[in-house]
Chain A
């Protein structure tokens, strides 16, 4: 019998409190408190949901269905989304934020980070229920909420957490049955999957429609060559989804990290440093016959759009973090005998951060909701990315500005947000809602 969400969540909470990670970072007590507060509410909700579901089955079939909200403008999260949001935010607040500074400085993930964050169960949510996971349906809006809340803790660590999830999302959305059965069960195992999507190439004015990575058919499968940049995990990924030109179309190839001809070289950038980014070189890498993701119905444009939206959602989380950090700072920091927030020059910058942040969120939610409903969403994703690219950097730079000289130092996370947020206008692909 498949696990239900409540049971699984309880299992995860217990596993977390017993984990080495919780002991090491003295997180057990806060985590317990959190587990109590978070899960009490969360599981009450889940419990009610389950009860409702059961009750429905025994209902008189002739009874009228509940009034449908379909077709209405609505910003209400589902009970499940609210629970996930609260849980992920708590984890971001209690765990992720505290790890961010050192991970950035060390330019690598905390040793047991990926293992520990499995307690959150996000890997389960990337696998459909029918295959033993927890995802009732593929939900880009839920994925956007997860990205935002996790990135509230740290952009870079959220990217590391969600890059493998993005690979799973892409396999769920585009892969054939054989590919799903081969790769998705790994996400339900005890050890974390390190995997990433690789699209971006190190060319100025890179156009994802004109990839220089190329794949060819061979007798036994495919041969792929190319260079990809900003690839995370320090060369330790077991799996890459590599975008390459094939039969005059852009397609994705599943490339094992240890395949002969695959080489990774460190190439740090101004941000995302905890993920240990580098350049991936594929030199005539031979792949099996099942390496080509999906079939001819694969839509590269939609794939890219879902990727950009995922990045946007991460940026929204970092921007929200910046706003939440700035408010108490400008209220407490005094100059000329009063809090600096009493000056319009400061207050209006805060107001604009609030306004543009909400703009970003609504744009991304709209595109994600369209994608979820199976409707065209290219225009909305395109415009969301334009808006988010501009506003995210504006918020990033103003976050440093409002902290003044302090913002420029590593005493505060603003300079990290500044560097991480710069990626949004530069990146093409690598994620997938």
Chain B
């Protein structure tokens, strides 16, 4: 039955997330934007509360560590599960602050990777830890197959060598999921992901980036020099299967792209809400009564942003709904990320523009949101990469044909 309203069963969870955003994140939002690299101590308490929220109230929980394509035995009827609840609650958290949401302990993208591909033994060892994700290197970004970091098998261990950059929570997390090649002559099929625990000799956080936005979240450069890890820390299938290629490691993205889309939805909503509030004080009416074409330029712009925002939100919910119901959603996940990423950037920048100096100044958070939003159209696959994925799916083209 067609229904595109937020499921009732997640109302309590969404409300909790909103409360956290409003009462915990917003009050310290500017503080950690100004003091980049300072650890937001407020979050430790919050993380415990979140763990409780996850394991308690809804029964199914939410968050990066729970994301999984539901391929298990078919459940009766339509499901609204963890992908949906994660998307909904994360959007609320990012309404509060994207940077702080990103640095929530145990909610890293590495946790999503572990949830998606770890076996039971690995899940038992790492499921409760905070895991960052290390893919990008100085020499490549979008072209994930160009990994130069190597992981060479040596008895019961792998020896990792290489440099990773732009590792979100790379300094704060307990461990890092590292993409490395087990045999560079075999191309992308040889790329595997490995869990490296903090403190492993040979792993060094060498730098923290200074950034345009999401300053509350640490972004680390990490080097691996003859860094030895147990062979059992390899996630997924250790065999190099040239046929299957890259699919294993890329699988994670189908689940995490709607999550990043949700972050974009959250920050865009923050801008819309605040702008609407400020315009109301200036007696600009935004009650959907004036016909669009007869509305003032300001009103019309806000309506348009709201329409775009709703579209992005619905695409994201659709992608999450598909994942919850075991439907392959690679195209829809990329659609949601493409739409939400660019829309959030346009809206947050546009709201600053609409309000002029009020939007541009640091007295309001609008300028911050417009800086924070930019990364959401870049990480987890840029706008252009999402378009490539969508185009290949629609056109039935391989990555060799449509480059």
A contact set with B: CB distance below 8 Å: 67, 69-78, 81, 141, 205, 207-209, 323, 327, 330-331, 339, 341-342, 344, 347-348, 350-352, 354-356, 358-360, 362-363, 365-366, 368-370, 373, 378-380, 382-387, 389-390, 428
Contacts and interface: CB of A to CB of B under 8 A. Distances in A.
A390 B394 contact: no
A384 to B, nearest CB: 7
B3 A369 contact: yes
A81 B304 CA distance: 31
A354 B314 CA distance: 14
B403 interface: yes
A362 B5 contact: no
Given A69-B78, A207-B294, A390 B304 contact: yes
B397 A386 contact: no
Given A330-B395, A342-B401, A387-B308, A73 B387 contact: no
B390 A355 contact: yes
B391 A386 contact: no
B387 A351 contact: yes
Given A67-B77, A355-B315, A141 B2 contact: yes
Interface centre among B6, B84, B387 (most CB of A within 10 A): B387
A342 B397 contact: yes
Interface stretch (B27-35, B285-293, B347-355): B285-293
B286 to A, nearest CB: 10
Instruction: Enumerate the 6 nearest inter-chain pairs by beta-carbon distance, A residue then B residue, closest first.
Output: A359-B311, A347-B391, A362-B314, A366-B4, A351-B391, A351-B390
Given A73-B5, A341-B395, A351-B391, A386 B292 contact: yes
A40 B80 CA distance: 32
A72 B8 CA distance: 7
Nearest to B309: A383
B261 to A, nearest CB: 12
A76 B1 contact: yes
A63 B7 CA distance: 26
B212 interface: no
Nearest to B395: A341
B114 interface: no
B204 to A, nearest CB: 38
B395 A369 contact: no
Contact of A352 (B291, B315, B321, B387): B387
A362 B318 contact: yes
A348 B387 contact: yes
Given A331-B397, A387-B307, A390-B304, 16 more contacts: A67-B76, A69-B77, A71-B3, A72-B78, A72-B80, A74-B1, A207-B294, A344-B403, A347-B395, A355-B339, A358-B332, A363-B310, A363-B314, A366-B4, A373-B3, A386-B304
B402 interface: yes
Contacts of A360: 311
B13 to A, nearest CB: 14
B402 A386 contact: no
23 contacts: A73-B5, A76-B1, A81-B2, A205-B293, A347-B387, A347-B395, A348-B384, A351-B388, A351-B390, A351-B391, A355-B315, A358-B315, A363-B307, A363-B310, A365-B4, A366-B314, A370-B5, A382-B292, A384-B307, A385-B292, A386-B292, A387-B308, A387-B310
B5 to A, nearest CB: 7
B50 interface: no
Contacts of B79: 72
B4 A342 contact: no
Nearest to A339: B401
Contacts, number: 161
Nearest to B311: A359
Nearest to A355: B335
A327 B314 contact: no
Nearest to B11: A71
Interface of B: 1-9, 76-80, 84, 288, 291-294, 303-304, 306-308, 310-312, 314-315, 317-318, 321, 331-332, 335, 338-339, 384, 387-388, 390-392, 394-397, 401-403
B391 A350 contact: yes
Nearest to A77: B2
Please report whether the interface of chain B is mostly helix, strand, loop or mixed according to DSSP. helix
Given A205-B293, A344-B388, A351 B3 contact: no
Contacts of A368: 2
B293 A75 contact: no
Contact of B6 (A70, A73, A387): A73
Contacts of B388: 344, 347-348, 351
Contacts of A380: 310
Contacts of B390: 351, 354-355
Nearest to B397: A341
Nearest to B291: A207
Contacts of B291: 207-209, 428
Nearest to A380: B310
A357 to B, nearest CB: 10
Given A205-B294, A387-B308, A74 B394 contact: no
Given A363-B307, A366-B4, A386-B307, A71 B9 contact: yes
A73 B321 contact: yes
A141 B1 CA distance: 10
Contacts of A341: 391, 395, 397, 402
Given A207-B294, A379-B288, A78 B315 contact: no
Given A331-B395, A383-B307, A359 B314 contact: yes
A362 B339 contact: no
A73 B84 contact: yes
A428 B387 CA distance: 34
B292 A73 contact: no
B379 to A, nearest CB: 19
B269 to A, nearest CB: 14
A73 B7 contact: yes
Contacts of B293: 205
B314 A378 contact: no
A173 to B, nearest CB: 19
B311 A387 contact: yes
A70 B80 CA distance: 11
A382 B289 CA distance: 9
B288 A369 contact: no
B311 A74 contact: no
Contacts of B403: 342, 344
Contacts of B5: 71, 73, 366, 369-370
Contacts of B306: 383
A284 B307 CA distance: 41
